[in-house]
Every structure is written in C-alpha cells, then in structure tokens.
A = this chain, B = another copy of it.
Amino acid sequence: MAVLESAESTIYFETGLESLNLLIEKGNYSRVFVFADGNTSELCLPVFREMLDDFSDFDLIETDPGEENKNIDFCIGIWKTLLDFGADRKCLMINLGGGVITDMGGFVASTYKRGVDFVNIPTTLLSQVDASVGGKTGIDVDSVKNMVGTFTLPKAVYIESKFLKTLPERELLSGFAEMIKHGLIADKDYYLSLKNSDFRAPGPDAVLRSVEIKNKVVTTDPLEQNLRKILNFGHTIGHAVESYALNSPSPLTHGEAIAIGMICEAFLSHKYAELSKEELEDIKNYISGLYPKYILQPESFETLLKLMQSDKKNEHGQIMFSLLERTGHCAYNCKVTEKDIEESLIYYNSIYVA
C-alpha cells in the first residue's frame, strides 16, 4: 500500500512482505533467524510463513512473552543462542512481535558481534504506530525500563494489519492511545477522524498517518535533543502512573497509563500553554469515555512525583513537560511546579466524582 523511505531504513505498509522476500534473496545472508515470543510464535508465525514466498530456511529463537522478560538476562541468553547457532556478522534477525520483541531483538542484533542486520515486523498496534519508528532499541536492567539500549535503525520495518486480527482488545486500546497522542500533538484533523473511528478495527490509513507523524518528528531530531520531546506528551505523568501501577493488584497497560497522563497534561497545557478550556474538556471527555475507570490514590501522589523526577528524559533533575498549545500543536521543555502537577492529578480524579 505505501512505503516510507529514509536514507538508512524503509517502512513498508501492507505490501504482503514482498520486499522482505526480496531483501532475504538479495542480502546474501549466511543465516536467518526469527525472534518471537510464545504468543507471536503461535499466532503470528503461521501468518508470517504464509506470506513468505519459497523462503523457509530460518531458525526460530523464542522467548517468554511479557515486559518482565525484556531484560539483560534474556539478552545474554539470546546472544549465546546466536553463538551456539554459529551466527556470524552476516546473519539477519527478523523480530516478529510486539514492542518487547522489537526492542530486545533490536538491542541484541545491534550489539551481537558489534551489530548484525535486523528487520522488524511489529505485531501489536502499539509497536506498529510507535516502536516501529525512530530506531530506539532497549532492555530493562533491574526493572529499570530501557536503562540500556542503542539508537539503531532496522534495515526495514513491515507493517501488516493482518497480524492485528489475533490481538486482544485491551492491547488494541493500548496502542490506540499513542494514535490519539499523535493527533493531539501534530494533526487536529487526524484527531477528529480518530474520534469518529472504532479502536477495535484501526484502519491501515490511520496507522500510516501515525507512523508518518512520528517519522517526521524523529527524522528532524533523531537523538531526542529538541522536537522529538513532543512525543512525550502524556508520558511524563503517564510513565509514573504506569510504574506505580506495575506492582499494584491492577497494573495498567502502557496506553491506559498514557491516557491518564494525557488528561493530566492537557490540564497543565491549559494552565501553562495556550490550550483552551473547551479543548481541555473535549480531550478529557473523549479519553475518559474510551478508557476504563481508574482512580489515582492521593497516597500515591508523592511517589508519583518521585518517579517523575527520576525519569530518564529529565536532565539535571528538573521535571520537563511537553504541553499542547492547541489541539494539533505541542511545545516542549515546559517547567511546571510540583503543586500544579498534583493539581492535575486531582483534576483527573474529578472525572469520577459525581
């Protein structure tokens, strides 16, 4: 359907893996590995096999699903597996799965023998619209998210809506939060079109639009010095909420946490940037209508603030926000007082006070 090209990497949309067949054929690779987790090897690998022409000569490296396995210990296991397979520097790694697989597979490939080629086939909505772009690889160390990683572009990314058919509804909703974010920070029309769509069946056009937006931002600022920071809208508070909920009886998906973060940060956008009262209300109503009810316990506020302070995105200890100037426009490097951060959490909770 479409192709997004940059100097070093290409994103293919709905091309039925035709170009992957070509890449493998032309690449003269000594060996091809497919990296997947238990779920994607069961649900996505058959779809993948069907889309490959004659090529079937790969070895499968499988890991357990879930963020808790995106860590250095599993990494070491994969490096050693590659070595045991006799993988040299001319091998190719195909990462087939959600963000956990593409992040960890990308890190393994970008460091094994100082880097071998890899391609990503994101199979969750979140990884298609977000992890697919920007060349961030990463793993967790000691449960610290993405403490270690590289900026390395895959040779190519293949986005195929086919893979989403088996994805649970909650995972679809999680990825949808990033799409809403893309509309809010960069494209009001896109935001409005999402409001009229069903997150259970995200159209390829919408996925493509999200990828275009992220790609444009990331190409302008590959190393996250400036503009790329707008992608953090909803994430300063959202990440803290996500981390906090992680060890609670009801953990949130990334998207659910970001949805909460976007409502709080829309509040701050009204207070610190130019976002109007009406736009704030609209965002709050739309997002809170879509995502499940969740209350931020006042006892958690202090911890949440601490988590924000230790966020990797901050420099020299100051918490920085990306805030909306209006729907479709975002500013970055906004300083906000702790008191107002707290107020934004209270604003969020007020949704559920009758």
Q: Which of A239-247, A310-318, A336-344 contacts B (4 or more CB under 8 A)?
A: A310-318
Whether, in the assembled complex, A88 has its beta carbon less than 8 Å from a beta carbon of chain B, the answer is yes
Q: Chain B residues near A314 (CB, 8 Å)? A: 88
Tell which of A112, A114, A146 has the most Cβ of chain B within 10 Å: A114
B-contact 0/1 string along A279-308, CB 8 Å cutoff: 000000000000000000000000000000
Q: If the complex has contacts A76-B72, A88-B315, A315-B89, are A113 and B151 also in contact, measured as CB distance less than 8 A?
A: no
25 A–B contacts, CB within 8 A, in A order? A30-B315, A30-B316, A72-B76, A79-B147, A80-B142, A83-B141, A83-B144, A86-B310, A88-B312, A88-B316, A89-B312, A90-B315, A90-B316, A110-B150, A111-B149, A112-B148, A113-B147, A113-B148, A113-B312, A114-B138, A114-B146, A114-B149, A114-B151, A115-B151, A150-B150
Q: Which residue of B lies closest to A139 (CB)?
A: B111
Chain A contact residue count (CB 8 A cutoff): 33
Is A136 interfacial (CB 8 A cutoff)? yes
Task: Find the B residue at minimum CB distance from A82.
Answer: B147
Complex-state Cα separation, A142 to B150, whole angstroms: 22
Give the chain B neighbours of A151 by CB distance below 8 A: 114-115
User: Given known contacts A80-B141, A83-B144, A141-B76, is B136 in contact with A114 (CB within 8 Å)?
Assistant: yes
For A152, the closest partner residue in chain B by CB is B150
A89-116: CB near B (< 8 Å → 1, else 0) gives 1100000000000000000001111110
Question: What chain B residues lie within 8 Å of A141 (beta carbons)?
Answer: 76, 79-80, 83
CB of A332 to closest CB in B, whole Å: 15
For residues 139 through 167 of chain A, which have their beta carbon under 8 Å from a beta carbon of chain B?
A: 141-142, 144, 146-151
What's the Cα separation between A114 and B314 when bound, in Å? 14
Q: Determine how close the nearest CB of chain B comes to the CB of A258; give it in whole angstroms.
A: 20
* A115 pairs with B315, CB closer than 8 A: no
Pairwise interchain contact A111-B148, C-beta atoms closer than 8 A: yes
**Nearest chain B residue, comparing its CB with the CB of A135:** B114
Q: Please indicate the chain B residues that have their CB under 8 angstroms from the CB of A80 in the complex.
A: 141-142
User: Which residues does chain B contribute within 8 Å of A146, judged by CB atoms?
Assistant: 113-114
The one of B79, B89, B111 that contacts A150, using a Cβ cutoff of 8 Å:
B111
Within 116-147 of A, Cβ neighbours of B (below 8 Å) are at 136-138, 141-142, 144, 146-147
In Å, the complex CA distance between A111 and B146 comes to 10
Known contacts A83-B147, A88-B316, A115-B150; can you find 18 more A-B pairs with CB under 8 A?
Answer: A30-B315, A30-B316, A72-B72, A72-B76, A79-B141, A80-B141, A83-B142, A86-B310, A88-B315, A89-B315, A90-B315, A90-B316, A110-B150, A111-B149, A112-B147, A113-B149, A114-B138, A114-B149
Nearest B residue to A108, CB-CB: B148
